[in-house]
Structure 1
């Protein structure tokens, strides 16, 4: 295997890392990783970097890159909108597919990156390029609250005039350990976007981004996707599980298959790193950074479920639940589970007959 640093892009220079076999086969499936808002290509806890290294021995093609205004790429976060993240994704794919079109592209998107994956998959389908399989990690299926309902009206007016605002003015707070001085609604909003306030503060958020997020309909994107799709979320992610049920795509009555997950050494419980000192064992509400324990969902929903009701095109949807968490980064074992799920998808071709090659291994 070999990897190289990439630079590409038209309006601004984007940076990425591309891993491929020493003797690349252009038909080998390509994995493109899409972080959440304000996150660099390494994502939280180096999820995507660890995934790339895990798949490297199999001869996988893996592309990590930074959207404009993120990580090492040019631009400012305050000038970046959702539409820019999509166009950057399409440019990144075009850059690595110049050597040959893969038969399948896996678009692995976290949070807002999952919305990017669905939009990019639709665009690639229109262009009649390779088949796309979105792998949606904690996707934004439930509508986000509107910015006018969530943020201070004076701050929003200031943002409108200037076109951007420092994120610390929009979502103030200084206590990054216990989050005691943050509005929990702000924490939840940005957690659902895949952001971390510690890294988001000090950067600006653009008015255009908030406008696009106000218009974003993740459930509609999900309903309209034609082709295979994979959803991975925590078993405590009631937003995602509830929306899948509302869309008729998940629930005890919809299960017709099951993929048992490996047994964990221990059930994830409260994490000392993220819980407030002196907080109860079972808090009344769980923020982005608190570690939830098992929920009261039925045993049906606690299983890792596969082959749930098909979408409108008759193609399968796979749903995988990470035990004991709402978000994968709340427990190291949950991130290991997530990487294992994607590894399995690549090796088996997600049941589509597009099996990943193992480079002789």
Structure 2
């Protein structure tokens, strides 16, 4: 597999493991002492604690931080909301004009041309202003974006928040790979459609094959398509580590340009995980929907999609899997002899990364 040599905001990592804590990366690599314990380069013991990439804790520790949050919420938030609302409506109107007269089939068949393509660039600039009003005042970009001919696919990681849409506006509106439900979002659904996205229809059993086929067609096309932008992790994490990449970005066999996203702010208020301040109340209480439980089984036990679906159907008969506690299910699964090999393999895979 070939990769583009032109990378945007990338890290060069040696044999050591990179750990991130409160937005700061630390080298987790080290050497073994005479007793066999893993030691950091400074001589301190290295922690063997396994990080959970799907949990995010946000705490305002000092009185100053709490008072500042209250003050800004009362006086600054209303102003920002008004500006953000105005810019979203403006971008939505531009997208409506740009998509006028085009069907979903037209958007999949051929790239936008002429004034529609130029209007998309204007829409990206409006959305940049949207992010500025949202608090992203400065974006530092390292490296140069490759052209479509140099790298038809952009792979962004780590994926940790819906604010990861910011690179879309700075990279010229590439076609994103997204779940089909996002097309129904008020205002933002129209903006997503304007990028000519590749939708994943999770209810369709053939969706995976169709998605891969469309990505391959876009990446190998001779037409002037925008680049395809993919978050290969497929879900949000807290950026403490990279989880296994899905292979969709690499099926076409074309150069892929990696893009590393960093949020250097001291107080991490952007991360969106299954458990934490950035999720809805149902997920904050560690309750998973049926779809999320499938995903939890795949990620927690390193299962294939078919195997996780099979186990899910079995659980559905035994539990109410439309609202089931993740930890309870995993605890119940770990006690089953027929599934012990999954937990052993999962633990071995985790230890291998430490």
The normalised TM-score by structure 1 is 0.26
Of Structure 1 and Structure 2, which has the larger fraction of its residues in strand? 1
Greater radius of gyration (CA) = 2
